[in-house]
């Protein structure tokens, strides 16, 4: 058993929770216990926040080159432990080892980005003499500094990636963190935290509380010692956090129903290849998953025919078996919910082209065609392995359909026509627009975040650092000369 199992990380040490309560973490595939996690209570939140306050004092006064050295060591450890982290991800989350290895393999790079960007906290000089009545006796500039204590709350679907998109920028730029990973997938977060501990991160700079978000959320989010909440999860939880947070910085990476528009001049081979990946990776449990395809009526039949062949070729099953590309959903209840949504869509008049069968926590990759764009399978976030295909008769109608949900995270447009591409880039209300690929693509350095009900603020290490730091304006008043 690892030293972190069943423990909380507080003030640089793995400790029991106040209640000493522990729970089993089980594989979504076969229900076998894969590890144990402590169940923190509000009493542990208080201890962790106190530790984070002293951690923030130490870390903000640590020169950036020293912070960077610790981060680079943590990155090296994450690289060395990538296979171990991948096995943990796959065990507790149910995603295939192929996908888990891809996710774990990005850890070191994200931490290195945090080290690099955290050493580039630039300000700017202010041309004060351009202010009428002000002379050359003053010098003004901005100074970027860490906010202090960051509360990071992450979801289950990318247990390493989404934790690191908070830890790397927060720690790189000199903040302390209290991390609350998803209850279903805490073990990955603990293994990542161990890399930072072993790299020599000072006590209190990173604290990890496992347990229930709904029990710990109020204490974590409403505390005035916390200067920033970095939350990734559902729109409903994010909305709740906006109500209780009080005056502090907020980044909310929330839900989505991401569209892909396929125009008549699209490269259909490319479009179907991309949708067959983008709709089904991680069993569709990706905020930037392709949930909707809006295809021009002229190419609908060809598109569906080609997509069906590709989707039926996806290898689904035991996440740890050789060659399996897509594993389970996070649990059998979620799988049942997704299968039911597909059945409801069919009963409302849509056509099932393939998939949608339920087997424990697995739903076979589905294509649902003839979907009314206002049906719930298009409007509400599905978070499962099904793509809802609707038809449009013009570019304008396709873009209208793309914008017809409350969400606006990612989108994709397939076209060979530059005019249509530019129009789509300007008109689609989403935080990220891909031309000739689906929304399911991310470089860890790019600005990443949603519009409308998909959230506020941007992640991507450089952008996240902007949101995890404060800008002070400094004015030096000289004597007139």
CA 30/CA 32 separation, integer angstroms: 6
CA 334/CA 336 separation, integer angstroms: 5
Please tell me whether residue 407 binds ligand NAP under the rule CB under 6 A: no
Q: Which of 28, 148, 213, 284 binds ligand NAP (CB under 6 A)?
A: 213
CA 162/CA 157 separation, integer angstroms: 8
Q: How many CB atoms lie within 10 A of CB 63?
A: 10
Task: Using the Cα atoms of residue 65, residue 67, residue 72 and residue 77 in order, give the sign of their dihedral.
Answer: positive
DSSP for residue 429 = -
Catalytic status, residue 253: yes
* Residue 361 CB contacts under 8 Å (≥ 6 apart), including other chains: 28, 29, 94, 328, 329, 330, 331, 332, 334, 335
Please tell me whether residue 450 binds ligand NAP under the rule CB under 6 A: yes
Q: Which residue, 44 or 370, is less far from ligand NAP as judged by CB?
A: 44
Taking CA atoms, 418 is separated from 57, 144, 265, 412, 436, in Å, by 52, 40, 11, 14, 11
Please tell me whether residue 240 binds ligand NAP under the rule CB under 6 A: yes
Q: What is the end-to-end Cα distance of the chain in Å, rounded?
A: 71
* Residue 400 CB contacts under 8 Å (≥ 6 apart), including other chains: none
CB of 381 to ligand NAP, least distance (A): 5
Name which of residues 340 to 399 contact ligand NAP (CB under 6 A).
Answer: 381, 383
Q: Is residue 428 within 8 Å of 133, Cβ to Cβ? A: no
CB of 287 to ligand NAP, least distance (A): 3
Across the beta sheet with 138-146, what order do the strands follow?
A: 125-126, 138-146, 469-477
Please tell me whether residue 237 binds ligand NAP under the rule CB under 6 A: yes
Please tell me whether residue 253 binds ligand NAP under the rule CB under 6 A: yes
Please tell me whether residue 214 binds ligand NAP under the rule CB under 6 A: yes
Stretch that binds ligand NAP, among 134-142, 233-241, 271-279, 308-316 (CB under 6 A): 233-241
CA 180/CA 318 separation, integer angstroms: 28
Please tell me whether residue 259 binds ligand NAP under the rule CB under 6 A: no
Please tell me whether residue 287 binds ligand NAP under the rule CB under 6 A: yes
With both helix axes pointing from N to C terminus, report the angle between 161-172 and 107-118 in degrees, rounded to the nearest 10. Answer: 20
Q: Which of 55, 118, 204, 233 binds ligand NAP (CB under 6 A)?
A: 233
CB of 238 to ligand NAP, least distance (A): 7
Q: Which residue, 291 or 391, is less far from ligand NAP as judged by CB?
A: 291
Q: Which residue, 256 or 353, is less far from ligand NAP as judged by CB?
A: 256
Q: Which of 92, 103, 117, 253 is catalytic?
A: 253
CA 347/CA 342 separation, integer angstroms: 9
Q: Which residue, 232 or 391, is less far from ligand NAP as judged by CB?
A: 232
- Give the SS3 label for residue 203: coil
Q: How many CB atoms lie within 10 A of CB 130?
A: 7
Catalytic status, residue 103: no
CA 287/CA 182 separation, integer angstroms: 15
Q: Which residue, 107 or 391, is less far from ligand NAP as judged by CB?
A: 107
Q: Which residue, 268 or 338, is less far from ligand NAP as judged by CB?
A: 338
Q: Which of 49, 98, 164, 256 binds ligand NAP (CB under 6 A)?
A: 256
Q: Which residue, 99 or 370, is less far from ligand NAP as judged by CB?
A: 99
CB of 31 to ligand NAP, least distance (A): 18
CB of 157 to ligand NAP, least distance (A): 5
CA 317/CA 98 separation, integer angstroms: 12
Q: Which residue, 163 or 316, is less far from ligand NAP as judged by CB?
A: 163
Longest Cα separation, the chain: 82
Q: Which of 174, 255, 385, 412 binds ligand NAP (CB under 6 A)?
A: 255
Q: Which residue, 183 or 452, is less far from ligand NAP as judged by CB?
A: 183
Stretch that binds ligand NAP, among 56-64, 187-195, 227-235, 411-419 (CB under 6 A): 227-235
Stretch that binds ligand NAP, among 46-54, 74-82, 433-441, 450-458 (CB under 6 A): 450-458
Q: Which of 195, 287, 334, 467 is catalytic?
A: 287
Name which of residues 51 to 90 contact ligand NAP (CB under 6 A).
Answer: none
Taking CA atoms, 197 is separated from 31, 50, 82, 191, 334, in Å, by 31, 18, 16, 10, 34
CA 425/CA 77 separation, integer angstroms: 40
Please tell me whether residue 410 binds ligand NAP under the rule CB under 6 A: no
CB of 353 to ligand NAP, least distance (A): 24
31: left (phi over 0), alpha (psi -120 to 50) or beta: left
Stretch that binds ligand NAP, among 128-136, 305-313, 315-323, 448-456 (CB under 6 A): 448-456
Please report the DSSP string for 124-171 in residue order.
Answer: -EE-GGGSTT--SSEEEEEEEEE-SEEEEE--SSSTTHHHHHHHHHHH
Name which of residues 125 to 144 contact ligand NAP (CB under 6 A).
Answer: none
Task: Using the Cα atoms of residue 475, residue 478, residue 479 and residue 481 in order, give the sign of their dihedral.
Answer: negative
Name which of residues 148 to 207 contact ligand NAP (CB under 6 A).
Answer: 153-157, 162, 180, 182-183
Q: How many CB atoms lie within 10 A of CB 33?
A: 10
Residues designated catalytic? 253, 287
Interface residues with ligand NAP (CB under 6 A) are 153-157, 162, 180, 182-183, 212-214, 217, 221, 232-234, 237, 240-241, 253-256, 287, 381, 383, 409, 450, 454-455
């Amino acid at each position: 058993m690892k030293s972190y199992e069943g423990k909380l990380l507080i003030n640089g040490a793995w400790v029991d929770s106040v209640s000493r309560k522990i729970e089993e973490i089980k594989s979504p595939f076969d229900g076998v216990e894969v590890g144990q996690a402590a169940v923190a209570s509000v009493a542990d939140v208080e201890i962790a926040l106190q530790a984070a306050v002293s951690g923030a004092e130490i870390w903000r006064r640590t020169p950036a080159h020293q912070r960077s050295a610790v981060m680079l060591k943590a990155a090296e450890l994450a690289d060395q432990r990538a296979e171990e982290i991948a096995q943990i991800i796959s065990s507790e989350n149910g995603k295939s080892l192929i996908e888990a290895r891809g996710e774990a393999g990005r850890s070191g790079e994200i931490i290195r980005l945090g080290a690099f960007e955290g050493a580039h906290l630039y300000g700017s000089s202010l041309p004060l003499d351009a202010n009428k009545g002000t002379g050359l006796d003053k010098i003004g500039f901005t100074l970027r500094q860490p906010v202090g204590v960051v509360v990071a709350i992450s979801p289950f679907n990318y247990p390493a990636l989404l934790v690191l998109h908070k830890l790397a920028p927060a720690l790189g730029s000199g903040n302390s963190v209290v991390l609350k990973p998803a209850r279903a997938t805490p073990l990955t977060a603990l293994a990542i935290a161990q890399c930072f501990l072993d790299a020599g991160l000072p006590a209190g700079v990173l604290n990890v509380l496992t347990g229930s978000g709904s029990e710990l959320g109020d204490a974590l989010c409403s505390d005035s010692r916390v200067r920033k909440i970095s939350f990734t999860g559902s729109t409903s939880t994010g909305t709740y956090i906006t109500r209780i947070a009080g005056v502090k910085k907020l980044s909310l990476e929330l839900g989505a129903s991401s569209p892909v528009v396929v125009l008549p001049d699209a490269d259909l081979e490319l479009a179907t290849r991309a949708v067959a990946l983008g709709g089904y990776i991680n069993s569709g449990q990706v905020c930037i998953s392709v949930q909707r395809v809006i295809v021009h009526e002229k190419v609908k039949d060809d598109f569906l025919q080609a997509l069906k062949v590709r989707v039926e070729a996806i290898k689904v099953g035991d996440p740890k078996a050789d060659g399996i590309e897509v594993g389970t959903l996070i649990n059998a209840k979620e799988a049942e919910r997704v299968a039911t949504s597909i059945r409801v869509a069919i009963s409302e008049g849509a056509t099932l082209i393939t998939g949608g069968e339920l087997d424990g926590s697995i739903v076979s990759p589905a294509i649902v065609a003839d979907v009314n764009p206002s049906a719930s399978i298009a409007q509400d976030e599905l978070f499962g392995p099904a793509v809802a295909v609707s038809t449009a008769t013009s570019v304008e109608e396709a873009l209208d359909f793309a914008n017809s949900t409350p969400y606006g995270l990612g989108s994709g447009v397939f076209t060979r026509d530059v005019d249509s591409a530019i129009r789509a880039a300007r008109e689609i209300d989403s935080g990220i627009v891909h031309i000739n690929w689906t929304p399911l693509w991310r470089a860890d350095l790019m600005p990443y975040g949603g519009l409308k009900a998909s959230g506020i603020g941007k992640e991507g290490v450089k952008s996240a650092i902007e949101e995890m730091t404060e800008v002070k304006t400094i004015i030096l008043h000289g004597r007139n000369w």
